[in-house]
Amino acid sequence: MNGFQVALAVFLLVCVLVGTLPVFNTAFQFLVLPFHAVKNHYRRAAHFTPNVAVIVPAWNEGLVIGASIDRLLSLDYPADKLRVFVVDDASTDNTPDVVLARAAAHPRRVVHLRREVGGEGKAHTLNHGISQVLADTWAEAVLIMDADVIFAHDSLRKLTRHLADERVGAVTAYIAEGSADRNYLTRFIGIEYVIAQLAARRAQNVLGAIACLAGGAQLHSRENLLAIGGRIPTGTLAEDTMTTFESQLAGRKMVFEPHAVVLAEEPRSVDALWKQRLRWARGNVQLTSIYRKLWFRPSRAHKLGSVPFGVAWFSILLLPAFLLLSSAALFALLLLHSEVAESVFKFMWIIAACTYIYSILFTVQLDPRTAARSWREALLFPGLGAMIVMAVALFPGVTDAALTEWFGRLTAGDRFVYSSILYLWGPISMLGAWLARWVERFRGGRFVAGLLIYVCGYGSLLCAITVDSYIKEWRQADASWVKTEKVGRVVS
Protein backbone atom coordinates (compact mmCIF):
# COMPACT_ATOMS: atom_id res chain seq x y z
CA MET A 1 0.00 0.00 0.00
CA ASN A 2 1.17 3.54 -0.74
CA GLY A 3 1.17 6.37 1.80
CA PHE A 4 -2.41 7.44 1.06
CA GLN A 5 -3.72 3.89 1.39
CA VAL A 6 -1.88 3.46 4.69
CA ALA A 7 -3.40 6.70 6.04
CA LEU A 8 -6.84 5.62 4.82
CA ALA A 9 -6.46 2.20 6.45
CA VAL A 10 -5.47 3.83 9.77
CA PHE A 11 -8.48 6.15 9.53
CA LEU A 12 -10.80 3.20 8.88
CA LEU A 13 -9.28 1.29 11.79
CA VAL A 14 -10.01 4.26 14.06
CA CYS A 15 -13.60 4.35 12.77
CA VAL A 16 -14.04 0.65 13.57
CA LEU A 17 -12.64 1.20 17.05
CA VAL A 18 -14.96 4.17 17.66
CA GLY A 19 -17.86 2.18 16.27
CA THR A 20 -17.32 -0.57 18.83
CA LEU A 21 -17.48 1.90 21.74
CA PRO A 22 -20.92 0.58 22.88
CA VAL A 23 -19.42 -2.90 23.27
CA PHE A 24 -16.61 -1.57 25.46
CA ASN A 25 -19.14 0.48 27.45
CA THR A 26 -21.24 -2.63 28.09
CA ALA A 27 -18.15 -4.52 29.19
CA PHE A 28 -17.18 -1.66 31.51
CA GLN A 29 -20.64 -1.49 33.12
CA PHE A 30 -20.71 -5.22 33.80
CA LEU A 31 -17.18 -5.06 35.23
CA VAL A 32 -18.28 -2.23 37.54
CA LEU A 33 -21.48 -4.03 38.53
CA PRO A 34 -19.99 -6.36 41.21
CA PHE A 35 -18.81 -3.31 43.16
CA HIS A 36 -22.46 -2.60 43.99
CA ALA A 37 -22.07 -5.22 46.70
CA VAL A 38 -19.77 -2.83 48.61
CA LYS A 39 -20.59 0.58 47.15
CA ASN A 40 -24.29 1.18 47.66
CA HIS A 41 -26.65 3.29 49.73
CA TYR A 42 -27.78 0.66 52.23
CA ARG A 43 -25.43 1.89 54.96
CA ARG A 44 -27.33 5.19 55.06
CA ALA A 45 -30.78 3.63 54.67
CA ALA A 46 -32.93 3.10 57.79
CA HIS A 47 -36.45 2.25 58.85
CA PHE A 48 -38.47 5.28 57.72
CA THR A 49 -42.19 5.57 56.99
CA PRO A 50 -43.04 9.13 55.92
CA ASN A 51 -46.51 10.20 54.85
CA VAL A 52 -46.69 9.12 51.20
CA ALA A 53 -49.06 10.59 48.62
CA VAL A 54 -49.38 8.27 45.62
CA ILE A 55 -50.19 10.06 42.36
CA VAL A 56 -51.71 7.88 39.65
CA PRO A 57 -52.28 9.51 36.22
CA ALA A 58 -55.25 7.85 34.54
CA TRP A 59 -56.84 8.26 31.13
CA ASN A 60 -59.39 5.58 30.23
CA GLU A 61 -57.90 3.11 32.70
CA GLY A 62 -61.22 1.54 33.74
CA LEU A 63 -59.90 -1.97 33.11
CA VAL A 64 -56.98 -1.65 35.51
CA ILE A 65 -57.42 1.28 37.90
CA GLY A 66 -59.67 -0.46 40.42
CA ALA A 67 -57.29 -3.35 40.97
CA SER A 68 -54.34 -0.94 41.16
CA ILE A 69 -55.99 1.08 43.93
CA ASP A 70 -56.91 -2.07 45.87
CA ARG A 71 -53.35 -3.37 45.71
CA LEU A 72 -51.91 -0.01 46.80
CA LEU A 73 -54.18 0.05 49.84
CA SER A 74 -53.05 -3.46 50.78
CA LEU A 75 -49.30 -2.66 50.72
CA ASP A 76 -47.23 -3.40 53.80
CA TYR A 77 -47.24 0.22 54.90
CA PRO A 78 -49.01 2.09 57.74
CA ALA A 79 -52.56 2.79 56.53
CA ASP A 80 -52.66 6.26 58.07
CA LYS A 81 -49.50 7.23 56.16
CA LEU A 82 -50.61 6.31 52.65
CA ARG A 83 -53.08 8.20 50.44
CA VAL A 84 -53.87 7.56 46.78
CA PHE A 85 -54.62 10.48 44.45
CA VAL A 86 -55.95 9.41 41.05
CA VAL A 87 -55.64 12.19 38.49
CA ASP A 88 -58.39 11.49 35.97
CA ASP A 89 -57.25 13.05 32.68
CA ALA A 90 -60.75 13.69 31.28
CA SER A 91 -61.42 9.97 30.84
CA THR A 92 -64.32 8.98 28.60
CA ASP A 93 -64.75 5.42 29.93
CA ASN A 94 -65.80 4.27 33.41
CA THR A 95 -62.56 5.37 35.10
CA PRO A 96 -64.31 8.12 37.18
CA ASP A 97 -66.97 5.69 38.41
CA VAL A 98 -64.40 3.09 39.46
CA VAL A 99 -62.26 5.65 41.31
CA LEU A 100 -65.23 7.37 42.98
CA ALA A 101 -66.47 4.00 44.24
CA ARG A 102 -63.07 3.37 45.86
CA ALA A 103 -63.02 6.92 47.26
CA ALA A 104 -66.44 6.35 48.88
CA ALA A 105 -65.26 3.06 50.38
CA HIS A 106 -61.97 4.58 51.63
CA PRO A 107 -62.61 8.24 52.53
CA ARG A 108 -59.47 10.42 52.71
CA ARG A 109 -57.32 7.43 51.65
CA VAL A 110 -58.46 7.55 48.00
CA VAL A 111 -58.99 10.91 46.27
CA HIS A 112 -60.38 11.49 42.76
CA LEU A 113 -58.92 14.54 40.97
CA ARG A 114 -60.64 15.33 37.68
CA ARG A 115 -59.17 17.27 34.79
CA GLU A 116 -61.92 18.45 32.47
CA VAL A 117 -59.50 19.16 29.62
CA GLY A 118 -57.05 16.31 29.05
CA GLY A 119 -54.75 14.99 26.36
CA GLU A 120 -51.81 17.28 27.15
CA GLY A 121 -49.53 14.43 28.18
CA LYS A 122 -48.50 12.57 31.29
CA ALA A 123 -46.39 15.38 32.75
CA HIS A 124 -49.32 17.83 32.75
CA THR A 125 -51.56 15.21 34.33
CA LEU A 126 -49.00 14.54 37.07
CA ASN A 127 -48.52 18.25 37.72
CA HIS A 128 -52.24 18.66 38.33
CA GLY A 129 -51.96 16.12 41.14
CA ILE A 130 -48.59 17.32 42.47
CA SER A 131 -49.82 20.91 42.83
CA GLN A 132 -52.73 19.79 45.00
CA VAL A 133 -50.66 17.37 47.05
CA LEU A 134 -47.94 19.93 47.78
CA ALA A 135 -50.53 22.58 48.66
CA ASP A 136 -51.19 20.50 51.79
CA THR A 137 -48.39 19.98 54.30
CA TRP A 138 -49.43 16.35 54.98
CA ALA A 139 -47.34 14.66 52.28
CA GLU A 140 -43.69 14.11 53.16
CA ALA A 141 -43.01 12.02 50.05
CA VAL A 142 -44.71 11.57 46.68
CA LEU A 143 -44.85 8.29 44.78
CA ILE A 144 -45.45 8.66 41.04
CA MET A 145 -46.66 5.52 39.27
CA ASP A 146 -48.56 4.22 36.25
CA ALA A 147 -52.17 3.12 36.53
CA ASP A 148 -51.56 -0.53 35.66
CA VAL A 149 -48.43 -1.50 37.61
CA ILE A 150 -48.40 -3.80 40.63
CA PHE A 151 -46.10 -3.03 43.56
CA ALA A 152 -44.75 -6.00 45.49
CA HIS A 153 -46.18 -6.13 49.01
CA ASP A 154 -43.04 -4.79 50.70
CA SER A 155 -41.76 -2.58 47.87
CA LEU A 156 -42.82 0.80 49.29
CA ARG A 157 -41.00 0.18 52.57
CA LYS A 158 -37.88 -0.73 50.62
CA LEU A 159 -38.12 2.56 48.74
CA THR A 160 -38.85 4.85 51.68
CA ARG A 161 -35.91 3.57 53.73
CA HIS A 162 -33.54 5.46 51.43
CA LEU A 163 -35.30 8.76 52.14
CA ALA A 164 -34.02 8.49 55.72
CA ASP A 165 -30.89 10.03 54.21
CA GLU A 166 -31.68 13.70 53.63
CA ARG A 167 -29.25 13.81 50.70
CA VAL A 168 -31.50 11.47 48.72
CA GLY A 169 -34.09 13.24 46.60
CA ALA A 170 -35.71 10.28 44.87
CA VAL A 171 -35.67 6.50 44.70
CA THR A 172 -36.73 4.30 41.81
CA ALA A 173 -37.76 0.64 41.74
CA TYR A 174 -37.10 -2.33 39.49
CA ILE A 175 -39.83 -2.44 36.83
CA ALA A 176 -40.21 -6.08 35.82
CA GLU A 177 -42.27 -7.43 32.94
CA GLY A 178 -45.30 -9.01 34.58
CA SER A 179 -47.82 -10.06 31.91
CA ALA A 180 -49.78 -13.22 32.64
CA ASP A 181 -49.92 -14.32 28.98
CA ARG A 182 -46.36 -13.72 27.81
CA ASN A 183 -45.28 -14.02 24.21
CA TYR A 184 -41.84 -13.90 22.60
CA LEU A 185 -41.73 -10.08 22.66
CA THR A 186 -42.66 -9.64 26.33
CA ARG A 187 -40.05 -12.26 27.20
CA PHE A 188 -37.42 -10.25 25.28
CA ILE A 189 -38.57 -7.14 27.17
CA GLY A 190 -38.21 -9.04 30.44
CA ILE A 191 -34.56 -9.79 29.68
CA GLU A 192 -34.01 -6.22 28.47
CA TYR A 193 -35.30 -4.86 31.79
CA VAL A 194 -32.92 -7.07 33.73
CA ILE A 195 -30.02 -5.71 31.66
CA ALA A 196 -31.18 -2.08 31.62
CA GLN A 197 -32.21 -1.92 35.27
CA LEU A 198 -30.85 -4.63 37.55
CA ALA A 199 -27.49 -4.44 35.78
CA ALA A 200 -27.10 -0.93 34.32
CA ARG A 201 -28.73 0.99 37.16
CA ARG A 202 -26.75 -0.88 39.77
CA ALA A 203 -23.64 0.23 37.86
CA GLN A 204 -25.04 3.78 37.85
CA ASN A 205 -25.46 3.58 41.62
CA VAL A 206 -21.77 2.72 41.86
CA LEU A 207 -20.72 5.53 39.50
CA GLY A 208 -22.94 8.08 41.25
CA ALA A 209 -25.34 9.23 38.49
CA ILE A 210 -28.73 7.78 37.56
CA ALA A 211 -29.93 8.26 33.98
CA CYS A 212 -33.65 7.81 34.60
CA LEU A 213 -36.13 7.27 37.40
CA ALA A 214 -38.61 4.69 36.12
CA GLY A 215 -41.77 6.50 35.09
CA GLY A 216 -43.92 3.79 36.65
CA ALA A 217 -42.28 3.85 40.09
CA GLN A 218 -40.44 6.90 41.38
CA LEU A 219 -40.58 8.06 44.99
CA HIS A 220 -39.65 11.71 45.62
CA SER A 221 -39.08 13.49 48.86
CA ARG A 222 -41.23 16.60 49.25
CA GLU A 223 -38.06 18.70 49.35
CA ASN A 224 -36.85 17.26 46.05
CA LEU A 225 -40.04 18.18 44.21
CA LEU A 226 -39.94 21.69 45.68
CA ALA A 227 -36.26 22.00 44.65
CA ILE A 228 -37.16 21.40 40.98
CA GLY A 229 -40.05 23.85 41.06
CA GLY A 230 -42.84 21.70 42.47
CA ARG A 231 -43.67 20.18 39.13
CA ILE A 232 -42.56 17.61 36.55
CA PRO A 233 -40.81 19.30 33.59
CA THR A 234 -42.93 19.52 30.44
CA GLY A 235 -42.00 20.17 26.83
CA THR A 236 -40.26 16.84 26.30
CA LEU A 237 -41.35 13.26 25.65
CA ALA A 238 -39.01 12.01 28.40
CA GLU A 239 -40.41 13.79 31.44
CA ASP A 240 -39.14 11.06 33.80
CA THR A 241 -35.54 11.37 32.55
CA MET A 242 -35.65 15.17 32.66
CA THR A 243 -36.98 15.02 36.23
CA THR A 244 -34.05 12.75 37.10
CA PHE A 245 -31.54 15.17 35.59
CA GLU A 246 -33.07 18.25 37.21
CA SER A 247 -33.12 16.57 40.62
CA GLN A 248 -29.42 15.74 40.40
CA LEU A 249 -28.57 19.19 39.10
CA ALA A 250 -30.35 20.55 42.19
CA GLY A 251 -27.84 18.63 44.30
CA ARG A 252 -30.01 15.65 45.26
CA LYS A 253 -28.88 12.03 45.13
CA MET A 254 -30.87 9.49 43.10
CA VAL A 255 -30.97 5.84 44.19
CA PHE A 256 -32.01 2.69 42.36
CA GLU A 257 -33.49 0.07 44.70
CA PRO A 258 -33.21 -3.32 42.95
CA HIS A 259 -35.18 -5.20 45.63
CA ALA A 260 -38.33 -3.09 45.31
CA VAL A 261 -40.13 -4.94 42.53
CA VAL A 262 -42.93 -3.45 40.44
CA LEU A 263 -44.66 -5.54 37.77
CA ALA A 264 -45.82 -3.87 34.55
CA GLU A 265 -47.70 -4.84 31.41
CA GLU A 266 -45.59 -4.46 28.28
CA PRO A 267 -46.41 -4.34 24.53
CA ARG A 268 -47.09 -7.67 22.81
CA SER A 269 -46.56 -6.56 19.20
CA VAL A 270 -43.64 -5.00 17.37
CA ASP A 271 -45.79 -2.05 16.30
CA ALA A 272 -46.94 -1.30 19.87
CA LEU A 273 -43.38 -1.57 21.17
CA TRP A 274 -42.16 0.63 18.32
CA LYS A 275 -44.62 3.42 19.25
CA GLN A 276 -43.71 3.23 22.94
CA ARG A 277 -39.95 3.19 22.41
CA LEU A 278 -40.10 5.82 19.67
CA ARG A 279 -41.47 8.21 22.29
CA TRP A 280 -38.69 7.26 24.70
CA ALA A 281 -35.98 7.58 22.04
CA ARG A 282 -37.23 10.94 20.78
CA GLY A 283 -37.35 12.17 24.35
CA ASN A 284 -33.71 11.21 24.83
CA VAL A 285 -32.75 12.97 21.60
CA GLN A 286 -34.51 16.09 22.88
CA LEU A 287 -32.78 15.91 26.26
CA THR A 288 -29.37 15.47 24.64
CA SER A 289 -29.88 18.85 23.01
CA ILE A 290 -31.38 20.49 26.10
CA TYR A 291 -28.39 19.46 28.23
CA ARG A 292 -25.76 19.97 25.54
CA LYS A 293 -23.65 22.13 27.91
CA LEU A 294 -23.62 19.35 30.49
CA TRP A 295 -21.91 16.51 28.64
CA PHE A 296 -18.33 15.63 29.59
CA ARG A 297 -18.05 18.58 31.97
CA PRO A 298 -17.26 17.05 35.39
CA SER A 299 -18.77 18.77 38.41
CA ARG A 300 -18.37 18.34 42.17
CA ALA A 301 -22.11 18.88 42.62
CA HIS A 302 -23.18 15.91 40.49
CA LYS A 303 -21.82 13.14 38.28
CA LEU A 304 -23.94 13.79 35.17
CA GLY A 305 -20.99 15.48 33.47
CA SER A 306 -18.57 12.65 34.18
CA VAL A 307 -16.88 10.80 31.34
CA PRO A 308 -18.31 7.35 32.24
CA PHE A 309 -21.86 8.73 32.36
CA GLY A 310 -21.44 10.61 29.08
CA VAL A 311 -19.99 7.57 27.33
CA ALA A 312 -22.84 5.40 28.62
CA TRP A 313 -25.47 7.93 27.51
CA PHE A 314 -24.13 8.38 23.99
CA SER A 315 -23.39 4.67 23.60
CA ILE A 316 -27.13 4.09 23.85
CA LEU A 317 -28.31 7.22 22.07
CA LEU A 318 -25.93 6.77 19.11
CA LEU A 319 -25.79 2.98 19.07
CA PRO A 320 -27.16 2.70 15.50
CA ALA A 321 -24.72 5.35 14.30
CA PHE A 322 -21.81 3.52 15.94
CA LEU A 323 -23.03 0.27 14.39
CA LEU A 324 -23.25 1.79 10.91
CA LEU A 325 -19.85 3.46 11.31
CA SER A 326 -18.04 0.28 12.30
CA SER A 327 -19.76 -1.77 9.56
CA ALA A 328 -19.06 0.80 6.84
CA ALA A 329 -15.42 1.15 7.91
CA LEU A 330 -14.98 -2.62 8.02
CA PHE A 331 -16.48 -3.04 4.56
CA ALA A 332 -14.22 -0.27 3.21
CA LEU A 333 -11.24 -2.11 4.70
CA LEU A 334 -12.42 -5.24 2.92
CA LEU A 335 -12.27 -3.36 -0.38
CA LEU A 336 -8.90 -1.81 0.48
CA HIS A 337 -7.07 -4.67 2.18
CA SER A 338 -8.97 -7.89 2.87
CA GLU A 339 -6.32 -9.40 5.19
CA VAL A 340 -6.41 -6.35 7.49
CA ALA A 341 -10.21 -6.35 7.36
CA GLU A 342 -10.33 -10.01 8.38
CA SER A 343 -8.07 -9.40 11.40
CA VAL A 344 -10.11 -6.37 12.49
CA PHE A 345 -13.35 -8.29 12.00
CA LYS A 346 -12.11 -11.10 14.23
CA PHE A 347 -10.93 -8.67 16.92
CA MET A 348 -14.21 -6.72 16.92
CA TRP A 349 -16.51 -9.73 17.07
CA ILE A 350 -14.38 -11.70 19.55
CA ILE A 351 -14.63 -8.73 21.93
CA ALA A 352 -18.38 -8.62 21.26
CA ALA A 353 -18.69 -12.37 21.89
CA CYS A 354 -16.78 -12.24 25.17
CA THR A 355 -18.84 -9.27 26.35
CA TYR A 356 -22.07 -11.01 25.33
CA ILE A 357 -21.20 -14.26 27.14
CA TYR A 358 -20.08 -12.48 30.31
CA SER A 359 -23.04 -10.07 30.40
CA ILE A 360 -25.68 -12.73 29.73
CA LEU A 361 -24.26 -15.08 32.36
CA PHE A 362 -24.31 -12.19 34.82
CA THR A 363 -27.79 -11.10 33.75
CA VAL A 364 -29.56 -14.43 34.20
CA GLN A 365 -28.48 -14.76 37.82
CA LEU A 366 -29.72 -11.25 38.71
CA ASP A 367 -33.34 -12.31 38.19
CA PRO A 368 -33.51 -16.12 38.04
CA ARG A 369 -37.31 -16.15 37.68
CA THR A 370 -37.23 -14.03 34.52
CA ALA A 371 -34.26 -16.00 33.21
CA ALA A 372 -36.09 -19.32 33.73
CA ARG A 373 -39.06 -18.31 31.61
CA SER A 374 -37.05 -16.31 29.06
CA TRP A 375 -33.92 -18.42 28.63
CA ARG A 376 -34.34 -18.62 24.84
CA GLU A 377 -34.62 -14.84 24.61
CA ALA A 378 -31.58 -14.40 26.87
CA LEU A 379 -29.58 -16.73 24.64
CA LEU A 380 -30.80 -15.11 21.41
CA PHE A 381 -30.88 -11.50 22.63
CA PRO A 382 -28.33 -10.37 20.00
CA GLY A 383 -30.05 -12.56 17.39
CA LEU A 384 -29.19 -15.87 15.76
CA GLY A 385 -27.42 -13.99 12.95
CA ALA A 386 -25.09 -12.19 15.36
CA MET A 387 -24.36 -15.46 17.14
CA ILE A 388 -23.33 -17.01 13.82
CA VAL A 389 -21.08 -14.01 13.10
CA MET A 390 -19.50 -14.37 16.56
CA ALA A 391 -18.96 -18.09 15.93
CA VAL A 392 -17.23 -17.31 12.61
CA ALA A 393 -14.90 -14.87 14.40
CA LEU A 394 -14.17 -17.30 17.23
CA PHE A 395 -13.78 -20.44 15.09
CA PRO A 396 -12.82 -19.35 11.53
CA GLY A 397 -11.28 -22.69 10.58
CA VAL A 398 -14.41 -24.63 11.53
CA THR A 399 -16.73 -22.36 9.57
CA ASP A 400 -14.48 -22.35 6.50
CA ALA A 401 -14.42 -26.16 6.53
CA ALA A 402 -18.21 -26.27 6.90
CA LEU A 403 -18.75 -23.88 3.97
CA THR A 404 -16.40 -25.91 1.77
CA GLU A 405 -18.24 -29.12 2.67
CA TRP A 406 -21.67 -27.64 1.99
CA PHE A 407 -20.99 -25.57 -1.13
CA GLY A 408 -17.75 -26.95 -2.52
CA ARG A 409 -14.72 -24.85 -3.34
CA LEU A 410 -15.48 -21.14 -2.86
CA THR A 411 -14.34 -18.68 -5.53
CA ALA A 412 -12.94 -15.25 -4.71
CA GLY A 413 -16.31 -13.74 -5.60
CA ASP A 414 -18.11 -16.16 -3.29
CA ARG A 415 -15.80 -15.25 -0.43
CA PHE A 416 -16.32 -11.53 -1.05
CA VAL A 417 -20.11 -11.92 -0.85
CA TYR A 418 -19.79 -14.11 2.24
CA SER A 419 -17.45 -11.62 3.95
CA SER A 420 -19.64 -8.67 2.98
CA ILE A 421 -22.68 -10.23 4.68
CA LEU A 422 -20.64 -10.87 7.82
CA TYR A 423 -19.13 -7.39 7.91
CA LEU A 424 -22.44 -5.64 7.19
CA TRP A 425 -24.55 -7.79 9.48
CA GLY A 426 -25.33 -4.84 11.79
CA PRO A 427 -27.14 -2.74 9.16
CA ILE A 428 -28.70 -5.87 7.63
CA SER A 429 -30.17 -6.86 11.00
CA MET A 430 -31.68 -3.40 11.48
CA LEU A 431 -33.36 -3.66 8.07
CA GLY A 432 -34.70 -7.03 9.21
CA ALA A 433 -36.24 -5.34 12.27
CA TRP A 434 -37.95 -2.75 10.05
CA LEU A 435 -39.25 -5.63 7.93
CA ALA A 436 -40.62 -7.35 11.05
CA ARG A 437 -42.79 -4.33 11.82
CA TRP A 438 -44.04 -4.20 8.22
CA VAL A 439 -44.95 -7.90 7.88
CA GLU A 440 -46.66 -8.01 11.26
CA ARG A 441 -49.75 -6.27 9.87
CA PHE A 442 -50.54 -9.12 7.44
CA ARG A 443 -52.26 -12.42 8.11
CA GLY A 444 -49.77 -14.73 9.78
CA GLY A 445 -47.36 -11.81 9.98
CA ARG A 446 -46.84 -11.98 13.72
CA PHE A 447 -45.25 -15.40 13.38
CA VAL A 448 -42.92 -14.14 10.63
CA ALA A 449 -42.13 -11.00 12.65
CA GLY A 450 -41.18 -13.18 15.60
CA LEU A 451 -38.83 -15.26 13.48
CA LEU A 452 -37.20 -12.09 12.13
CA ILE A 453 -36.62 -10.76 15.66
CA TYR A 454 -35.07 -14.05 16.77
CA VAL A 455 -32.76 -13.99 13.72
CA CYS A 456 -31.95 -10.28 13.61
CA GLY A 457 -31.93 -9.68 17.36
CA TYR A 458 -33.98 -7.68 19.83
CA GLY A 459 -31.14 -5.18 20.10
CA SER A 460 -31.36 -4.53 16.36
CA LEU A 461 -35.07 -3.82 16.79
CA LEU A 462 -34.27 -1.16 19.39
CA CYS A 463 -31.60 0.26 17.06
CA ALA A 464 -34.10 0.50 14.21
CA ILE A 465 -36.52 2.38 16.48
CA THR A 466 -33.72 4.76 17.47
CA VAL A 467 -32.98 5.45 13.79
CA ASP A 468 -36.67 6.24 13.33
CA SER A 469 -36.42 8.69 16.23
CA TYR A 470 -33.52 10.47 14.48
CA ILE A 471 -35.65 10.78 11.35
CA LYS A 472 -38.74 11.97 13.21
CA GLU A 473 -36.78 14.63 15.12
CA TRP A 474 -35.00 15.79 11.96
CA ARG A 475 -38.36 16.12 10.17
CA GLN A 476 -39.89 17.71 13.30
CA ALA A 477 -42.76 15.24 13.09
CA ASP A 478 -45.68 15.39 15.50
CA ALA A 479 -44.36 14.70 19.01
CA SER A 480 -47.63 14.31 20.90
CA TRP A 481 -47.64 11.95 23.89
CA VAL A 482 -49.12 8.60 22.81
CA LYS A 483 -50.50 6.38 25.56
CA THR A 484 -49.52 2.71 25.52
CA GLU A 485 -52.65 0.56 25.57
CA LYS A 486 -53.03 -1.48 28.77
CA VAL A 487 -55.76 -4.06 29.34
CA GLY A 488 -54.90 -5.55 32.71
CA ARG A 489 -52.65 -8.50 31.81
CA VAL A 490 -50.38 -8.00 34.83
CA VAL A 491 -50.53 -10.79 37.39
CA SER A 492 -49.09 -10.55 40.88
State pLDDT tens for residues 145-155: 988 899 999 99
Domain that holds residue 439: 3-24+316-475
Domain count, the chain: 2
Largest CA distance in the chain: 84
Asked if residue 31 belongs to a domain, the reply is no
Shared-domain flag, residues 343 and 406: yes
Which of 283, 71, 40, 273 has its CA nearest to residue 165? 40
pLDDT in tens, 242-256: 999 999 999 999 999
Domain membership of residue 484 (yes or no) is no
Residue that finishes a domain, picked among 254, 279, 303: 303
Q: Using 50, 70 and 90 to split pLDDT, how confident is the model at 444?
A: confident
Contacts of 455 (CB under 8 A, 6+ apart): 383, 384, 385, 432
Specify the pTM: 0.91
Contact 258, 202 (CB under 8 A): yes
Residues 387 and 243 in one domain: no
Do 339 and 368 sit in the same domain of this protein? yes
Question: 303, 330, 362 — which closes off a domain?
Answer: 303
d(CA 393, CA 415): 15
**Whether residue 294 sits in one domain with residue 336:** no
pLDDT at 1 over 70: no
What type of residue sits at position 102?
R
User: Are residues 107 and 9 located together in one domain of the fold?
Assistant: no
| Domain at 70, CATH number | 3.90.550.10
Name the domain boundary from 280, 303, 326: 303
Please tell me which residue, 401 or 87, carries the higher pLDDT value: 87
pLDDT band with cut points at 50, 70 and 90 for residue 336: confident
Quick one: pLDDT band at residue 475, thresholds 50, 70, 90? confident
Tell me whether residue 18 is in a domain: yes
13-24 residue pLDDT tens: 889 989 999 999
